[in-house]
């Protein structure tokens, strides 16, 4: 019922625009508008496992460099420690513990996905007339059709529905995971290149349309398996391990794919009215060649290296060019921020907040606590961030427990435990973190790495 109410409110808001819009428009809220007055287009790039230190580094990334020069770089952008939880938070505007996707990614044998009770950003934008496309890695539910992107607000989907597939064969576990709108495709090519080409085609196809578009490009790069075109690997081989060189090549390939989209935006004349976000799903996997220095930890932990990741936001004439901000931003903030930029109401049940005023004016907005949690081979983590203060609990696989308090502004490496010096703050933040954890409908998380007995890889991941 709440979902229906929210959709009705958004639709009503979309139908009560200013007099500059055509009252006879029946083809969607964007149709018939003067392009200068239309709602902004939205392009969201999402990297997979990119390290915090791998932006503006020795890796060749002209597209990211350009976005940073033309937009705002976010120095305190936070996500969840693993991929599925962050993707869920990004598209719902909510902390994933509320709907049971907090602590681990979806595994190949899982049949559940992001609950259909949750209202997604693409569903709202689709309802008010946006053309919507997801081109890349979904990883929010593959076992049931109701969880697939075409049934979650995307007019079109191209890419892989699980994760960690082979970049050249496009297989996961020996079965093809490469599709268009629910039908598997056998295509030659490096998956990052194919995603870039498809995203470019989508943008160019909108050139003559008066409807705004939402393009979501969740790359699978530079997530393992570490595979890249040999010529790119060769460029980075000198002075780097094979693992690091391959990872760097994967990041460069992703940057090149982004460049195709940015060029298409320019050449079709829509760049000035397009919000472009570059985000990341979790901290870099150091074992796979990423660097999060000087931050502690990485993917699969709630230390800063696992949850503080690169991000850039560009909106010409709205955000200052070449700026940086220390505003604390979370994955759940992007949905309310984008809805507001489109003149749409923010559903009351969101955890995120509109942070675009901070990016526009470079002023720091106050915000509520941020909760993080994960379970991996490194242990079970809980964390709560309140401004610069951070509570962290870690339960190791052998049952040993450690709880600490850090000031991440003064101590980004998280080496100085302040829990004994500030016991009242420590206990208060601990209580708030545990209150967040208590919301999980699944209870305490359990580490699961093995498929259940009898499970086999499907012949076709698209079915």
- Over the stretch 256-310, which tens digit does the pLDDT of each residue have? 999 999 999 999 999 999 999 999 999 999 999 999 999 999 999 999 999 999 9
CATH 3.30.1120.10 domain span(s) along the chain: 370-437
**Would you name the residues annotated as active-site residues?**
83, 139
Structure token digits, residue 264:
């298409």
- Cα distance between residue 40 and residue 274, in whole Å: 5
- Over the stretch 176-190, which tens digit does the pLDDT of each residue have? 999 999 999 999 999
- Assigned superfamily of 37-361: Alkaline Phosphatase, subunit A (3.40.720.10)
- Cα distance between residue 307 and residue 301, in whole Å: 8
SS3 410: coil
Structure token digits, residue 456:
């086999």
Measured CA to CA in angstroms, residue 159 lies from 83, 93, 138, 216, 385 at distances of 16, 24, 8, 12, 34
Please answer whether residues 426 and 391 qualify as being in contact, where contact means their C-beta atoms are separated by less than 8 angstroms: yes
The pLDDT value recorded for residue 124 is 98
pTM check: above 0.85: yes
- Over the stretch 420-437, which tens digit does the pLDDT of each residue have? 999 999 999 999 999 999
CATH architecture of 370-437: 2-Layer Sandwich (3.30)
Please answer whether residues 283 and 305 qualify as being in contact, where contact means their C-beta atoms are separated by less than 8 angstroms: yes
The pLDDT value recorded for residue 14 is 52
The pLDDT value recorded for residue 11 is 52
More confident residue, 427 or 452: 427
CATH 3.40.720.10 domain span(s) along the chain: 37-361
- Over the stretch 17-74, which tens digit does the pLDDT of each residue have? 333 332 233 333 333 333 334 799 999 999 999 999 999 999 999 999 999 999 999 9
């Amino acid at each position: 019922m709440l979902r229906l109410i929210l959709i009705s409110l958004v639709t009503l808001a979309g139908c009560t625009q200013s007099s500059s819009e055509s009252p006879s428009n029946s083809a969607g809220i964007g149709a018939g508008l003067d392009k200068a007055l239309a709602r902004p287009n939205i392009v969201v790039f999402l990297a997979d496992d990119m390290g915090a230190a791998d932006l503006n580094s020795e890796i060749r990334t002209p597209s990211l460099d350009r976005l940073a020069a033309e937009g705002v770089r976010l120095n305190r952008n936070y996500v969840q420690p693993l991929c599925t939880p962050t993707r869920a938070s990004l598209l719902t505007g909510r902390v994933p513990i509320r709907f049971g996707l907090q602590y681990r990614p979806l595994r190949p044998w899982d049949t559940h996905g992001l609950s259909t009770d949750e209202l997604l950003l693409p569903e709202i934008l689709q309802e008010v007339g946006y053309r919507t496309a997801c081109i890349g890695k979904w990883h929010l539910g593959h076992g049931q059709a109701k969880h697939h992107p075409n049934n979650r607000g995307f007019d079109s989907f191209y890419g892989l529905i699980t994760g960690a597939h082979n970049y050249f064969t496009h297989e996961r576990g020996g079965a093809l995971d490469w599709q268009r709108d629910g039908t598997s495709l056998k295509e030659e090519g490096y998956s990052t290149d194919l995603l870039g080409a498809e995203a470019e085609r989508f943008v160019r196809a909108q050139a003559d349309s008066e409807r705004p578009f939402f393009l979501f490009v969740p790359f699978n790069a530079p997530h393992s398996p570490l595979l890249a075109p040999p010529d790119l690997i060769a460029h980075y081989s000198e002075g780097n391990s094979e693992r690091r060189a391959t990872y760097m090549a994967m990041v460069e390939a992703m940057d090149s794919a982004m460049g195709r989209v940015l060029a298409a935006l320019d050449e079709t004349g829509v760049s000035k009215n397009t919000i472009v976000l570059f985000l990341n799903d979790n901290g870099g996997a150091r074992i796979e060649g990423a660097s999060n220095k000087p931050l502690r930890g990485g993917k699969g932990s709630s230390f800063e290296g696992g949850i503080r990741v690169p991000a850039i936001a560009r909106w010409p004439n709205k955000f200052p060019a070449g700026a940086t901000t220390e505003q604390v931003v979370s994955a759940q903030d992007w949905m309310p921020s984008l809805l507001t930029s489109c003149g749409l109401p923010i559903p009351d049940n969101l955890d995120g907040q509109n942070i675009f005023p901070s990016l526009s004016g470079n002023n720091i907005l106050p915000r509520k606590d941020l909760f993080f949690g994960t379970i991996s081979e490194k242990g079970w983590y809980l964390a709560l961030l309140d401004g610069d203060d951070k509570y962290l609990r870690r339960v190791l696989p052998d049952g040993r427990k450690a709880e600490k308090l850090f000031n991440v502004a003064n101590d980004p490496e998280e080496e100085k435990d302040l829990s004994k010096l500030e016991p009242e703050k420590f206990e208060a933040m601990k209580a708030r973190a545990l209150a967040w954890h208590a919301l999980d409908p699944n209870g305490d998380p359990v580490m699961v790495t093995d498929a259940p007995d009898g499970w086999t890889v499907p012949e076709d991941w698209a079915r």
